[in-house]
Amino acid sequence: MNALIVAVNKQISSELTTAAKRVGCDNIVVASDIVTAKRTVSARAFELVIVYADTLLGNGLELARIVAARGEGGVILIEAEQRGDALARRLEEEGIIVLSKPLGRTALFQAIKLVRATNNRVARLVEEKKDLLKKLDDMRMINRAKLVLIQSMGFTEEQAHRYIEKRAMDLRRSRVEVALDILKTYEV
């Protein structure tokens, strides 16, 4: 899992890097200011972004929102305790995990593991969506071919369906390939 850690303090960024490595992050980029971090996230995608909010850091919240809106990975925003609880409620809907300072290692590890689990689930859902869209496109293609057979050959819907099925079996090709052949033959 690749990660971006944004923190002004070198000791804190080092501790966050160590924690991320222990939980399975192998490609870690560290940015010490918002401008560099924004440039970095615009150039490439990260599966995990940890923003350690700091008074010198600028607007860490804005960066967290930008990354979360892109939907490419999980975002952990570490904020001061007095702001953390209020922010957590607001940012929950945007998919940003807010942790309050002072931060314990256990909470950080759990948050990173949660991001990894969520990323895995989202990746599976994206693949399922691609598969479903492909099936939908295939169905559209087959239905267009049926319509062409109905209009050109005077078939009923059942006859057109059976023709495509039988032709696919006889030629040992997919129904989509047969549908494409029909469309090439009859459509101008």
Q: CA–CA separation, 54 vs 83, rounded Å?
A: 12
What is the secondary structure of 60-96 as a DSSP string? HHHHHHHHHHHTSSEEEEEE-HHHHHHHHHHHGGGTE
Whether 127 shows a pLDDT value over 80: the answer reads: yes
Structure confidence by residue, pLDDT tens digits, 92-121:
888 888 888 888 888 888 899 889 888 889
In this prediction, residues 169-174 reach a mean pLDDT of 96
Q: Give the pLDDT band (50/70/90) at residue 152.
A: very high
Structure tokens at 67: 């990354």
Q: Give the pLDDT band (50/70/90) at residue 123.
A: confident
Q: Which residues pair with 75 in a beta bridge?
A: 49, 96
Per-residue model confidence (pLDDT) at position 42: 86
In this prediction, residues 150-178 reach a mean pLDDT of 95
Q: What is the DSSP letter of 50?
A: E
Query: 73: closest CA among 108, 29, 114, 31?
Result: 114
Mean of all residue pLDDT scores within the chain: 88
CA-CA distances (angstroms) from residue 120 to 3, 24, 48, 116, 123? 15, 13, 12, 6, 5
Per-residue model confidence (pLDDT) at position 133: 97
Structure confidence by residue, pLDDT tens digits, 11-45:
998 999 988 998 888 899 999 888 888 888 888 88
Per-residue model confidence (pLDDT) at position 145: 96
Let me know if 56 is exposed, middle or buried by CB neighbors in 10 A (0-12, 13-18, 19+). Answer: exposed
Strand 27-31 to strand 48-52: parallel, antiparallel, or no bridges (unpaired)?
unpaired
Q: CA–CA separation, 36 vs 115, rounded Å?
A: 23
Structure confidence by residue, pLDDT tens digits, 37-80:
888 888 888 999 999 886 555 577 888 888 888 877 889 998 87
Residue 152 CA from chain centroid, whole number: 44
